[in-house]
Amino acid sequence: MKELKASYIFNTIAIALIIISIVMFFVYKDTKNKIVNISYNDNLSYVESISENISNDILDVIKKDFYISLYDDKVSQDYINTTLSLFVTKKFKYIYLIDKEYNHFRFLADGSLIDDEKSEFGESYQPFQVSEWDKIYKNKKPIFFTHSKFNNIWTTYLNPIIINDKIEAILVIDFSLQEHDKIEETLLVLDNMLMIASSFLIIIFILILWFSHIDKKRENQKNIVFDMLIAESKKVQDLNLNLASQVEEEVNKNRAKDQQLLQQSRLAQMGEMISMIAHQWRQPLSVISAVAISLNIKAELGTADKSTVIDFSKRISEYSKHLSSTIDDFRDFFKPNKEKENTSFNYLIESVLRIVEIEITTNNIYILKHLKCHNEFDSYANELKQVILNILKNSQDILLENKIQDPFIKILTYSTEENLILEISDNGGGIPDDIITKIFDPYFSTKLDKNGTGIGLYMSKIIVEEHCSGKLNVKNNKDGVMFKIKIPHNDTISNANSKLF
């Protein structure tokens, strides 16, 4: 009986090894194909990225009529040639800018690094595989094709630069797939290694036969170890229960801390907004006072007829309504949101500007508005208003602190396939590189000597990313700094953040 049992075990192990070998073979073949495909696709993706960057640089210089614009503009020709040459390497050997006049192709720019290979502006260009070029003028989409006469190692990428639905030029990138071939050669070596691994499995089978012979001797020891493992497992489970409780406690503490910081941020903004409201009230109150004094004088002189009193009363009433409207805006601004509401970036911006625009423009800061996004979305409107207010106030402070000439704040909204985007930028000189990664940290502020709390941008990031399922990023541009808020379209927002924490 024992011999039958041992035979059964050995046969089972043998079958298992055969199955493992077969599975390893097919898994390897599948992995090999994936590696080859990934290598090829990565090459194409990288070329597409290079092409997109070059096309954007070219469009920054030339807006239309490429050939005419470059014909007498040596500076632009040199700039584009230099831009193309920056991307020329051993792999990306040739990068050209070509246009087509009737059935004739000609060079607009050539990024070649070797003078003998470089073509001049307007020089005739003879393309390989003209049929592929005809496709791009028909479909107006980028294409790849390999050159069979060069053993399919060299590949050409054609990217049309389109303006007003017209192909102004074609960006040509000839690049090598030689490393792709090297990967395939390496995988061939791995094929041989797989054969060695199969032999190794046979050796393992022989070793299993030997180890099974002494297996019974270890049975008692294994049982002892098993009992010990059960005891240790119970200890680990107890530790896990305690750890889960501690984690939950710390999470609750962090949530309470964030709520306190949010309230602190609101109070800080409330103080700033009271100052803004006082600034807005100054002119209406002065006018009301002047009207009242004028009416009083006319009454004392006996010249206040009925029409004058009615006129003055209307003016006082209009300014009183303006003051009341300011109070309503202030009250709505800090009304807590418990549920999401339908809103839009345009509405949020106009609501905030009704409160801060006068103070900003009084300081001779110009506000540029390019509101191209009219899409609505569900979110916590008042919290997003606080984020926008905080960014605008930061821009105002830095413009005044640095005494910028012709200061401006630019507000731009637009939408992409996945997100609604709000960008707020200024020409205040930007944020130093050594601290730009820290500005969203709690209690980090460059205005500590000016009553800066260091929690405004920290809470802004929490509001946008944790409450509203969006993204808040910052980067320097050529004039100053730009904050970008991304909010997903309603149909892509996760339900996980539908309530405030």
Q: In three state form, how does the secondary structure of 199-224 look?
A: HHHHHHHHHHHHHHHCCHHHHHHHHH
Residue with tokens 């997003």: 384
Beta pairing class for 154-163 and 471-476: unpaired
| Average pLDDT of the segment spanning 357-386 | 88
For residues 380 and 337, what is the distance between their CA atoms, to the nearest angstrom? 6
Spatial separation of the C-alpha atoms in residues 499 and 145, rounded to whole Å: 51
pLDDT exceeds 60 at position 202: yes
Evaluate if residue 324 carries a pLDDT over 50: yes
pLDDT of 316 strictly over 60: yes
Strand 419-426, strand 408-415: pairing? antiparallel
Give the three-class secondary structure for 154: strand
DSSP letters, 302-360, are T---HHHHHHHHHHHHHHHHHHHHHHHHHHHHTPPPSS-EEEEHHHHHHHHHHHHHHHH
The order of strands in the sheet holding 143-146 is 104-110, 92-101, 166-176, 154-163, 143-146
Question: For residues 223 and 399, which has the higher predicted lDDT (pLDDT)?
Answer: 399
89-103, 243-257, 339-353: least confident range: 243-257
Residue 327 reports pLDDT greater than 50 = yes
* 339-497 has the same fold as 216-335: no
Q: Strands 166-176, 92-101: parallel, antiparallel or unpaired by DSSP?
A: antiparallel
Q: Do 176 and 95 touch, CB atoms closer than 8 A?
A: no
Nearest to 378 by CA among 349, 416, 347: 347
Specify burial of residue 216 (Cβ count, 10 A radius: 0-12, 13-18, 19+).
exposed
Q: Which CATH architecture has domain 216-335?
A: Orthogonal Bundle (1.10)
The per-residue pLDDT for 175 is 81
In this structure, the number of other CB atoms found within 10 A of the CB of residue 159 comes to: 21
Q: Which CATH architecture has domain 2-181?
A: 2-Layer Sandwich (3.30)
Q: What is the pLDDT of residues 111-128, one digit of tens each?
A: 888 878 788 888 888 887
Q: Show the tokens assigned to 405.
A: 């000439």
Which residues touch 483 (CB under 8 Å, ≥6 apart)? 391, 423, 424, 425, 472, 473, 474
**Locate tokens 């305690």: which residue?**
242
Q: How high is the pLDDT of residue 500?
A: 39
Is residue 22 classed as helix, strand or coil in its secondary structure?
Answer: helix
Structure confidence at residue 148 (pLDDT): 61
Q: Are 94 and 173 in contact (CB under 8 A)?
A: yes
Residue 295 and residue 309: Cα distance in Å, rounded? 7
Q: Confidence band (pLDDT; 50, 70, 90) for 153?
A: low
Q: Are 132 and 145 in contact (CB under 8 A)?
A: yes
- In what helix (H) or strand (E) does residue 428 lie, and over which residues does it extend? none
Indicate the pLDDT class of residue 496, thresholds 50, 70 and 90.
Answer: very low
The tokens of 363 are what? 């300081």
More confidently predicted of 327 and 467? 467
Whether the Cβ atoms of residue 393 and residue 371 lie closer than 8 Å to each other: no
Indicate whether 495 pLDDT > 50. no
Please give the pLDDT value at position 271: 58
Q: Are 97 and 108 in contact (CB under 8 A)?
A: yes
DSSP state, residue 496: G
Residue 367 has pLDDT above 90, yes or no: yes
pLDDT at 501: 39
The mean-pLDDT minimum among 206-215, 269-278, 412-421, 470-479 falls in 269-278
Distance CA 34, CA 18 (A): 24
Question: Could you read off the pLDDT of 39-76 as tens digits, one per residue?
Answer: 777 778 888 888 888 888 888 888 888 888 888 888 88
- The CA-CA-CA angle for residues 396, 399, 405, to 5°, reads 135
How many C-beta atoms surround the C-beta of residue 92 within 10 A?
18
pLDDT score recorded for residue 12: 75
d(CA 144, CA 172): 10
166: left (phi over 0), alpha (psi -120 to 50) or beta: beta
pTM (2 d.p.): 0.41
Q: Please state, rounded to an integer, the average pLDDT across all residues of the chain.
A: 77
Check residues 315 and 344 and name the one with the higher pLDDT: 344
Of residues 434 and 451, the one with the higher pLDDT is 434
398 vs 386 pLDDT, higher one: 398
CATH code, 339-497: 3.30.565.10
Say how far apart CA 311 and CA 306 lie, in whole Å.
9
What confidence score (pLDDT) does residue 322 get? 56
Cα gap 138→87, rounded to integer Å: 28
Share of the chain above pLDDT 90, in %: 14
Residue ranges covered by each domain of the chain = 2-181, 216-335, 339-497
Q: Residues near 370 by Cβ (< 8 Å), separated by ≥ 6?
A: 410, 411, 412, 413
d(CA 415, CA 490): 13
Buried b / exposed e along 394-408 (16+ C-beta atoms within 10 A): bbbebbeeeebeebb
31: tokens are 């992995």
Residue 217 has pLDDT above 70, yes or no: no
Residue type present at position 447: K
Task: Please state, in angstroms and rounded to a whole number, the distance separating the CA atoms of residues 325 and 351.
Answer: 12
The residue behind tokens 């096309």 is 55
User: Does residue 484 have a pLDDT over 50?
Assistant: yes
